[in-house]
Amino acid sequence: MDRNPGPNTLPDAPHGLSAGEAARLLAVDPDIGLSDSEIAGRRVRFGPNTLKRQRRTSVGEIVLNQLRSPIVLLLLAATALALVVGEFVDAAAIIAVLLLNTAIGFVTEYRAVRSMEALQRLTARSVRVRRSDRVAVIPADDLVPGDVVILEAGDVVAADMRVLAAANLASDESALTGESLPVAKSADAVAADTSLAERTSMLHKGCAVTRGTGEALVVAAGMGTELGRITKLVAESEPERSPLEHQLQRLSRDLIWITLVVAAVVAGAGILAGGELALMLETAVALAVAAIPEGLPIVATLALARGMLRMARHDALISRLSAVETLGATTVVMTDKTGTLTENRMHVDRIVTPAGEIAFHRNDGTFTLGGKAMAVDNDPDLAALLTTIALCNNASLDDSVAGGSGDPMEIALLEAAAAGGRQGDALDDTYPEVREHAFDETIKMMATVHRDGDGYRVAVKGAPEAVLETVSTVAARDGDTAFGPDIKRQWAGTCDLLAAQGLRLLAVAGKTVSDADAPPYEDLTLHGIVALNDPPRADVPDALAATRGAGVKVVMVTGDHASTARSIARSIGLVGDDATVMNGTDLKPLDDLATGERDDVRGIRLFSRVAPEQKLDLVALHQEAGEIVAMTGDGVNDAPALKKAEIGIAMGRRGTEVAREAADMVLRNDAFATIVEAIREGRIIYTNIRRFSTYLLSCNLSEILVVGLAVAAGAPLPLLPLQILFLNLVTDVFPALALGTIEAGRDVLARAPRDPVEPILATRQWRGIVLHGMTIAAVTLTALAIGYQSGLRGDEITTMCFYTLALAQLFHVFNMRNWRERLLVNPLTRNRYVWLAIVLCLVILVVATLEPTVSGALRITPLPGDAWIAIIALSIVPVIVRELAAVAVRIRRRASSGR
């Protein structure tokens, strides 16, 4: 029996407890660890150290999702009617269309939710623990709260842990918090309300130990960890449907009602007028087939796929087709700072020595003071500082590793030193290292001791507030000067000014001693201050200007400090000098925000130290105001918001697998400028979707009018269901595909984003659909009348109507231009794909006429020469009518403008 069952609950805010108190609450002696009997009981109480796996959507469920469409049900009903009246070929053709559309829908939806599996792969596989006074290696899944874990550089943290002991310990928490640099860890408690990014007494599941060694106490496991909390957020985050998906659903609903009403009215009127029941049922089938733009899913999918390929050429990989268009509707971009707006690489920006503030130009490796170039060898202060930062350094510059290997800040220091002629290998030969005092978080300094002739050279770097306390003199050209209170205040003030600009600071000092064991942090001589930053990407200011011109608001949401966020935002032109930065600790939960506060938060462009739940709240806050939100991110903490936003954008180079799986688009180059290009492409695609939707639906309307009016007038059925299907899927699709390739004008990014609630087909488009449909129907019915008067009957009548409608719809593609554009010279006539589509469709029509099997199925018969003259003449009438209408509009506009 377990004599020490342990706690029933886990300690709240363990980062705010002392290491001893945390161990006491978890009923464990850190020097001994848990016993086997205690472990079993705790696993029962607290569960396994694993993350919940999300059930994958099965292939069968995806198929069923395609069949739940109302349009599919309508076509199934049309199939049943065709079978009732014995039109088995028509029924088979409709079923083939259903299978084709189902296949297309299946392919576009088939994207398994892999975010949970990616989260699982972040966890460690095995860990070293102390149990029953012995050190053992166990599977990471077997950890329980109260376990004592032994850690070293390279380990992946397997649970949330309270640090018990640390020696130069640091952890990379960028994926979890957004902090770009490794976070030093210690056993010292922090305030209970400290934000996640600043809990230096904690190690978190899924993060990696970058340096040092330590021991830590497991305080949460599995779904109780911070990573588990994010796992739950990802699972609960409902992805927003894209505007295009909403609008196509609305369009489908409208088409169904139109079809049902027209079919019922025409069939009912025909039956009341004494028409044959079989003919009326066949008419209903024809109307149902005519009303549904069977080619629209094909054309829309291929147009989006083409946009997907074009975006891939700009290093943007799309994982959800509708996301291509969603970018064009985006009104808010919420972006991370590190790597997206900045280079994600630390650089020395400037150096302050007693001589003044020296700028370092990393592109050409030069130093300037007051705008004048400096020779390092002629400036002993700068030379001493560069030598010191090269010596007091554990990184290395390696041509085989981009940027070198080691701590990013130390790599930046080596690059500046090398630019000044202080290469590491040469210095190591001149000043061989004999001792290192590793960076200690408690004193925030590091020192190395090097042989220098008969004595030793001590090189020190660290936090300015720490180093300045150890300095007794400051280097100067005419000899070292005492570091008195006034001089100390001056240097402290300089540090404050640099820190306010968002720069990361290191103080550099040194001394010469006769004993290698002399205390390293006493009586130092200050060489200067090094200011580093992660500089903005060169293309970001222009990209932001283009985004503003496109009417898209950009909001920076970062895990970094407020001062750094403000400095970068100002330098790239995102905000002005008086911009407000809201810290995550000041951001209330969404449900606690009053109406006025919600508006205030929506107006803020900069957020720092933001938690995953807050990113979700910010996305939801803008969405409830009707905004279409694009969210960028690279870390595990970004995954819930990436999934929640209308379009999630993950970083390809530095992004975690979790973020990439949750996103709709992955940037291979991590560049914000790529987002701007994607917005441009999205707007072009939406314009073309409107264009070919108008084209296809006007063709469908003409078919409805031809069948409906002819039957209502007592005339024979002018078009057979299979002929309509042939037109919808063959001769209409290729011109529509060509319309999806039309390039936009240069002003595409100068327009405001379209209204997200505006339907894909607004009043202007519907007006065009009706007028074009009526014109094409009129010429087809005219062909019916001419054929009937010429003595044509049966299949000859339907053949004449079929070819008139086919050619009229084919030439109708030239009507899909702006009224300002001329008939002969416009984007349509300049597009080779339009001409290719026309030639291809004409060849298909010829083959349908000459090939017996096809002509037999379509019931096409030879026609006399005068019938073909009438067909060709009538088919170009809609183009002439459209051009006359455009001329009239141009004349009226010129008259109204006084020209």
Catalytically active residues, by annotation: 336
Cα-Cα-Cα-Cα dihedral sign, residues 879, 883, 888, 890: positive
Place of tokens 């990616």: 118
Task: Check: CB of residue 525 under 8 Å from CB of residue 511.
Answer: yes
Closest-CA residue to 63 (of 115, 114, 99): 99
The strand pair at 606-608 and 581-583 is best described as parallel
Give the burial string for 23-37 (b: 16+ CB within 10 Å, else e).
bebbebebeebbeee
- Secondary structure string (H, E, C) spanning 187-225: CCCCCCCCCHHHCCCEECCCCEEEEEEEEEEEEECHHHC
Q: Note whether 338 and 560 are within 8 A (CB).
A: yes
Whether the Cβ atoms of residue 645 and residue 627 lie closer than 8 Å to each other: no
Q: Going by C-beta distance under 8 Å and a sequence separation of 6 or more, which residues neighbour residue 266? A: 283, 284, 287, 707, 708, 711, 712
CB distance 8 to 44 below 8 Å? no
Encoding tokens for residue 288? Answer: 């149902």
Helices 70-84 & 243-272, crossing angle to 10 degrees?
A: 30
User: Does the CA dihedral 752-758-762-763 come out positive or negative?
Assistant: negative
Q: Is 451 exposed, middle or buried (0-12, 13-18, 19+ CB in 10 A)?
A: middle
- 203 in Cβ contact with 161 (< 8 Å): yes
DSSP 55: P
Closest to 765 measured CA to CA, from 299, 251, 292: 251
Q: Tokens at residue 370, please? A: 């007051």
Alpha-helical segments (H) within 292-342: 295-312, 322-329
Tokens of residue 755, six digits: 């209204």
CA dist 632 and 139 (Å) reads 35
- The contacts of residue 52 (CB under 8 Å, 6+ apart) are 116, 223, 228, 231, 232, 235
Q: How far is CA 773 from CA 702, 766, 807, 857, in A?
A: 4, 10, 14, 26
As separate numbers, helices (DSSP H) first and strands (DSSP E) second, the chain gives: 32, 26
Q: Which residues are CB-neighbours of 14 under 8 A, at least 6 positions away?
A: 22, 162, 201, 202, 219
